[in-house]
Amino acid sequence: MKLRQLIIGNKIAALRVQLTTLRTAEDAFATRAAALDTREAELTAALGEVTPDTAEEDRQTVEDAVTTLETERAALDAEQATHAQQVASIEEQIRTLQQELDDLNARASTPAVPTAQAPTIEREDDSPMKTRNRFFGMTIQERDAFLARQEVRDFLQRVRDFGGQKRAVSGAELNIPDTVLPIIRENIDQYSKLIGKVAFKAIKGTARQNVAGRVPEAVWTEMKGKINELGISFSQVAVDGYKVAGYIPISNSVLEDSDIALATEILTAIGQAIGYALDKAMVYGTGIKMPLGIVTRLAQTAKPADYADNARAWEDLHTKNVLAVRGGTSGSYTELTGIDLFKGIAKAAKAAKGKYSRGMKVWLMSESTHQTINIEAMSINAAGAIVSGINGSMPVIGGEIIELDFIPDGEIVFGYADEYLLVERKGIALAMSEHVMFLEDMTLYKGTARYDGLPVIAEGFVAIAIDAGTPTTSVTFATDAANA
């Protein structure tokens, strides 16, 4: 048995040498990625300077440079993926051999115990373990099968390996297997209530959304008459990518707990943080280092200085699409109730233009406002109000109601959600360090992603106040204290 232990030990040592060699390549990957990011920023600036008057040769030079950059980026991604697979394979071999070696060492040092005399081991904690019947939409059987998959167990084991190291691993990317990524996406869909309603695109680099102008009217004429020329124009908006990120502390006791507790804590927290930030930015985003929000665009009173020349003609909507639905006259405004309230909302709804939409209106409001709407609907038809409440639809007028707690009470933002464009430039990335809060016995996890967005058809949205006030046009976002 000792010979077998020596052989396994030699194999583990050789594999660790290979792993160390592979780890040295990670710095080179990071350097290449940083260089590509620098070139990408330069090309983004160059593209911003391209105008209809730019010479075709110069335009082609920039486009060729973009193509070359994308090719190099793809090659780097492929190399990193291959490298990650090699690292994971060697780590798995080391774990398997180490487990075999530990078993051999245990058998060599522990005397055999007859089966009949084997002691019975009981849990010190007699309280039943608590678990959920559902795990991210899975049944217990599906959950167990998911956690039993080799790539998932590798991911969870890597988290534990990092947590047990006595050195910082700041910025080390966790290699999330493909079977985990869809669950992270499910959480974003669950906690971001708007991402499934708006026009969503996953992109690489800067993207341009073409928008067709108003459809012209064809001309009636004699059967043998000449055909009239019709004019149609196109405009374009550009979207980039801004980082939405943050870190969260996880108790080290969780890292030592079951796989279910570990996966739940990491995936749920990331989904909640990113989803909430996305929704808030799509409604009230400033457009500076974050998406441009619906209400922010409606409240603009002048054309922004950086408004693209080839975008749709800018239109002042701050009076037509930002409205107060109320009674009375100046100085003595009152809240509308019952049928008068819904008449006011219906009149305001006419301002939302849906010619570019393929869906119905959505109504965004707080839970309190939603309850107010249902209560007022009871004065018209209690049965209809109850049905609307169950289905989550706007009474009388129709359309889905979505509750968002950051919208002030008494205010509603509504319109055709698919006329808002949201793009994802880079998906979720995870990293961790256990040194930052070492004395607190906590491990810090960070989550990052990059998005951009804007209301492509701004006149498709309206913001109203139904409480005798005026609509809020800006809200406070989480402070970027780390970069202050």
Q: In this predicted structure, what is the pLDDT of residue 125?
A: 43
Question: Which tokens in the block code for residue 426?
Answer: 């880079």
Paired strand residues for 327 = 334
Axis-axis angle for helices 2-49, 56-109 (nearest 10)? 160
Express as a percent the part of the chain with pLDDT over 70. 69
Residue 5 CB-density burial (10 A; 0-12 exposed, 13-18 middle, 19+ buried): middle
Tell me the per-residue pLDDT of 211-222, one tens digit each, with 9 for 90 and over: 555 566 777 888
What's the average model confidence in pLDDT over 65-85?
84
Residue 306 CB-density burial (10 A; 0-12 exposed, 13-18 middle, 19+ buried): exposed
- 451 within 8 A of 192, measured Cβ to Cβ: no
Pure H helices in 132-204:
140-148, 150-164, 181-191
Tell me the per-residue pLDDT of 180-208, one tens digit each, with 9 for 90 and over: 555 555 555 566 888 888 887 776 656 56
Tell me the per-residue pLDDT of 174-184, one tens digit each, with 9 for 90 and over: 445 555 555 55
**Residue 302 pLDDT > 50, yes or no?**
yes
Q: In this predicted structure, what is the pLDDT of residue 208?
A: 60
- 153 within 8 A of 144, measured Cβ to Cβ: no
What's the average model confidence in pLDDT over 34-54?
79
**Residue 259 pLDDT > 70, yes or no?**
no
In angstroms, the CA 108 to CA 130 distance is 37
**Residue 316 pLDDT > 90, yes or no?**
yes
Mean pLDDT computed over every residue of the chain: 76
Nearest residue to 458 via CA among 364, 362, 351, 360: 351
Express as a percent the part of the chain with pLDDT over 90. 18
In angstroms, the CA 237 to CA 311 distance is 5
- 249 within 8 A of 459, measured Cβ to Cβ: no
**Residue 223 pLDDT > 50, yes or no?**
yes
What's the average model confidence in pLDDT over 73-95?
84
Report the helix count and the strand count for the chain, using DSSP H and E: 11, 11
Question: Which tokens in the block code for residue 305?
Answer: 């200085």
Question: Which tokens in the block code for residue 440?
Answer: 């607190």
pTM of the model: 0.59
What's the average model confidence in pLDDT over 339-359?
89
- 195 within 8 A of 204, measured Cβ to Cβ: no
Q: In this predicted structure, what is the pLDDT of residue 318?
A: 94
Residue 290 DSSP code: S
> Which range has the worst mean pLDDT, 65-69, 92-96, 148-152, 294-298?
148-152
Which band of pLDDT confidence, cut at 50, 70 and 90, is reported for residue 390? low
Paired strand residues for 150 = none
Question: Which tokens in the block code for residue 275?
Answer: 């989803």
Question: Which tokens in the block code for residue 123?
Answer: 């849990």
Tell me the per-residue pLDDT of 335-344, one tens digit each, with 9 for 90 and over: 888 888 999 9
What's the average model confidence in pLDDT over 116-136?
46
Residue 70 DSSP code: H
**Residue 81 pLDDT > 80, yes or no?**
yes
